[in-house]
Structure formats: C-alpha cells, structure tokens
C-alpha cells in the first residue's frame, strides 16, 4: 500500500469511527469532531499538487577539457501549495567547483519563480547529457509524489587544441620524418619546378627539356633530360589508434586511452590545419575507418569519432581484440596506393608487442616496391598516473615502465621512430618536436 493510500485510509477510517461513536453515545461534540478528518481529506482531493516548468539558460553545446562552465537553471511553479525538490544531473566524471545542483523550493497558493546556478569543471572528454529532475510533494501528502526527468541539454567535451605553431628552430630535429615539408609522391603535377633528371620510361614528351638534352648529348649522354615538377598536395598521413580496453591504465579520468585520444586529436588538428591529407583507423574497438580527406570537415569527423570512445559510463562497452596486424590487413589498400606516413598510437606491452611487429612487417612488405615508408610509433607511458599506496606499488609501476621502454628500444633497433611519452612529465607537443619538423 502506498503512502497516499495509507493516509487516505486513516482519514476515512477516523471519520467513520468518531462519527459512529458520537452517534451511539449521542455526543454532538464527537459528531462535529468527526468532520475534521473528512474536511482534510476533501482538501487533499481538491487541492492539486505543484506543477513545474524548468529550462536551462546559456548552457554551451561544447566545451574544452578542463574548462569551467556555469549552468543556470530557471523556472516557475504553478498549481497548489507544496514542496518541489529540484536536482540537476552532473555527469559522473565532472567536478562541482561552485554552488549546488540541488535545490528545495516551497510554494504557497501563488505562482512562484525560482533560479539558481552552479559551476562544473569538465574533467573528461566525451558526449554527455545534462538532464534536470524534480520531485513535487503535496502539502498534505494526500496525492502521489510526481517525479520527472527531462534531458534538456547535451554537452560535448573536446580535448584542448594543441599549441603547435610555426617556429624557425625547433628544439630537436631528426631526418626521418619531416611531414611539414613533405610533398605528395602521387597526384597531378603542379607548375613548381623541382629538378632536371634523366628520362624514364613512361615520362610524357612535353616535359622533355630539349636544350638540356642537347648539352647532355655533347657530354656523351644518350638519354634525354626531363623537367621534374612538384606534385600537388602534401604527404598523406594515416593514423592507427589503439582503443583496447586494456589501455585504461590509471584512473577513470586519466588513463592511457584518454591520452591516446588526446594525441590523435592533436596530431589530426596539426596536420589537417597544414593542409595534409589525413585518414585514421581505430582498431581493437569497432574498426572505425576515416578515409583520406582534408580540411575542417575531416577534422570534425575525426573529433566526433574520438568522442564516441569515451561514453558516459567508465570504459568501453563494445570491443574486440583484432590486433594491429589485422588492422593493417584491413587497410592494405590505403597503405599501398597512397604511400602514407604511418603513425601508430598505442601502449607497448608484452601482450601486443609481437602483434605490432607482425603488422609493421606487413607494411614493409606492402611497400617493398617503393621507398621505405615513414613510420612513427607513439608509446604512451601511463604508470605515473596510477595512484600508489605503498612502496611495492611504486616499484611495480617503475618495472612496468622499464619493460615498456625496452620494447621501444627493440623497435628502434629495427630502424623505426618510437616516441616514449609520459603525460605527467611533458606535453604531447613537446614530445612531437623530437620528430616533426615545424616550419
């Protein structure tokens, strides 16, 4: 039996008992007193409970990681008197920094307006729903409590835009990967002159330099010389992002998977803002593929895809372990035809190192007819993020860190470029300066 049914039953039972006692005893005072619970019962029936109308004011649809936003809620209460309990939903990873998302409003017979605000800090990337729930209570408790939850707003939290900008003299520069000056190896010819070279089978006759060929013939060279022009566009970039649930090493807010998403976001933003042709494949998840494209539209697609990797509940809900080797096979066509720069974002462990080597060997086999492709592997080291209680846990974290770095050295001995990134020690922009040349 509900609370309303109990109270109603008590009032009606009280009226019946008191009335018949007064009638049997011929006591007019008891008969008059019996109408008090009956009067209260009819008041509860004819007085309606409060009704609420709520809306959020000025809530942005998107925010950056670590940004503090203010949530303003306003509304009005109509209907009968009573109490209204309002609770605004705050996503679980977020931090309440100012005010309260809980408010109790008491209403009399007149209409009443209310408003309150609070501030929250966005501590995790993803798409979130900010709903507002309220509960109305009758002044006498003789009607059912009304509970309503209204999803009034959605908030998308994006990673912070990288602070990579043009600099003349980077901190460190290597000769292995220079994507900021890389020109596409395939594509239509432009009008920018590159060099004069020997004629090769299949070159069109219109690019033959007849004056240079005549001079070369005087030197004893029998083959004509041709003008080499730059190709239109820049080198394509292909990202492989490891989204294995095993990468959730750390806390629910800071872990290797979150830092991998931030890295993919930063690299995509940098190259697409420079006009590069970029694509991405997310393996060990749902196998999402973002085909080669350029510009802001491609960046928005990739950003939305990265946000889907961080649902409201902690962890990934659907995943499978396909491995890097199968991911390379699935994208074999793009790797062969486009000859892109390969960027792999993962965390090297004993369980995935051998599979990663198999995938890298397949890339080298696919590119055997061409020059050796540029490959960059970003190894995320999340062990400093893990909360530690005693010295044994600190020692274990250091051992795991050393083991992951040993796998990186093994890949470096094969001639690959591997970056070990500790998010607690340096930013991803500083780490990328050791390989990416900015101009």
**pLDDT confidence of 344, banded at 50, 70, 90?**
very high
Average pLDDT over residues 82-103: 85
Rounded Cα gap, residues 405 and 422, in angstroms: 11
Least trusted range by pLDDT, from 115-129, 155-169, 220-234, 374-388: 155-169
pLDDT for res 345 = 92
In the chain, the percentage of residues whose pLDDT exceeds 90 is 3
Average pLDDT over residues 299-324: 70
Q: Is the pLDDT of residue 54 over 60?
A: yes
Answer for the pair 136, 82: CB distance below 8 angstroms, yes or no: yes
pLDDT winner (highest mean) among 154-158, 174-178, 237-241, 351-355: 237-241
SS3 content of the chain, % helix, strand, coil (to 5): 35, 30, 35
Residue 160 has, within 13 A of its CA and on its CB side, a CA count of 12
**pLDDT confidence of 163, banded at 50, 70, 90?**
low
Average pLDDT over residues 343-363: 88
> Does 305 or 204 have the greater pLDDT score?
305
Q: Is the pLDDT of residue 65 over 70?
A: yes
Q: What is the pLDDT of residues 184-219, one digit of tens each?
A: 554 556 566 677 888 877 777 788 888 888 888 878
Rounded Cα gap, residues 397 and 384, in angstroms: 7
pLDDT for res 176 = 40
Rounded Cα gap, residues 105 and 156, in angstroms: 30
Helix (H, G, I), strand (E, B) or coil at 9: helix
**pLDDT confidence of 172, banded at 50, 70, 90?**
very low
**pLDDT confidence of 6, banded at 50, 70, 90?**
low
In the chain, the percentage of residues whose pLDDT exceeds 70 is 77
Q: What is the pLDDT of residues 374-425, one digit of tens each?
A: 788 999 988 888 877 788 888 888 888 888 888 888 888 888 888 888 888 8
Q: Is the pLDDT of residue 369 over 60?
A: no
For the whole prediction, is pTM greater than 0.85? no
**pLDDT confidence of 281, banded at 50, 70, 90?**
very high
Element (DSSP H or E) covering residue 395: helix 391-412
pLDDT for res 412 = 85
Q: What's the chain's average pLDDT?
A: 77
Q: What is the pLDDT of residues 97-135, one digit of tens each?
A: 888 888 888 877 788 888 888 999 988 888 888 888 878
pLDDT for res 164 = 58
pLDDT for res 100 = 87
Q: Which residue, among 250, 257, 259, 252, has the nearest Cα to 384 in the 3D structure?
A: 250
């Amino acid at each position: 039996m509900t609370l309303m049914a109990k109270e109603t039953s008590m009032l009606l039972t009280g009226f019946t008992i008191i009335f018949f006692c007064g009638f049997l005893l011929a006591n007019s005072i008891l008969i008059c007193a019996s109408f008090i619970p009956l009067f209260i019962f009819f008041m509860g029936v004819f007085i309606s409970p409060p009704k609420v109308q709520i809306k959020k004011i000025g809530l942005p649809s998107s925010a950056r990681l670590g940004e503090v936003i203010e949530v303003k809620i306003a509304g009005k209460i109509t209907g009968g008197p009573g109490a209204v309990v309002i609770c605004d939903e705050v996503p679980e990873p977020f931090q309440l920094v100012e005010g309260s998302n809980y408010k109790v409003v008491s209403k009399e017979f007149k209409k009443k307006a209310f408003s309150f605000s609070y501030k929250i800090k966005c501590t995790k990337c993803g798409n979130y729903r900010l709903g507002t729930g309220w509960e109305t209570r009758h002044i006498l408790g003789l009607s059912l409590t009304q509970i309503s939850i209204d999803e009034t707003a959605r908030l998308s939290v994006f990673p912070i835009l990288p602070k990579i900008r043009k600099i003349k003299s980077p901190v460190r520069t290597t000769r292995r990967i220079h994507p900021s000056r890389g020109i596409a190896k395939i594509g239509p010819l432009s009008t920018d002159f590159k060099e004069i070279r020997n004629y090769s089978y299949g070159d069109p006759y219109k690019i033959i330099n007849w004056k240079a060929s005549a001079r070369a013939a005087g030197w004893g060279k029998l083959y004509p010389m041709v003008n080499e022009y730059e190709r239109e566009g820049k080198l394509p970039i292909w990202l492989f992002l490891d989204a294995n649930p095993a990468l959730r090493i750390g806390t629910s807010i800071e872990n290797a998977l979150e830092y991998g998403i931030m890295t993919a976001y930063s690299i995509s933003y940098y190259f697409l803002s420079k006009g590069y042709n970029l694509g991405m494949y997310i393996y060990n998840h749902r196998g999402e593929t973002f085909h080669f494209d350029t510009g802001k539209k491609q960046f928005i697609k990739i950003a939305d895809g990265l946000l889907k990797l961080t649902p409201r509940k902690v962890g990934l809900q659907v995943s499978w372990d396909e491995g890097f080797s199968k991911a390379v096979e699935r994208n074999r066509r793009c790797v062969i035809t486009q000859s892109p720069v390969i960027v792999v974002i993962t965390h090297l462990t004993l369980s995935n190192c051998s599979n990663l080597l198999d995938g890298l060997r397949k890339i080298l086999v696919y590119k055997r007819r061409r020059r050796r492709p540029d490959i960059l592997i970003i190894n995320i080291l999340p062990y400093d993020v893990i909360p530690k209680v005693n010295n044994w846990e600190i020692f274990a974290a250091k051992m795991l860190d050393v083991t992951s770095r040993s796998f990186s050295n093994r890949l470096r001995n094969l001639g690959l470029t591997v970056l070990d990134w500790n998010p607690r020690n340096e930013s991803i922009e500083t780490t990328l300066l050791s390989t990416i040349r900015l101009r």
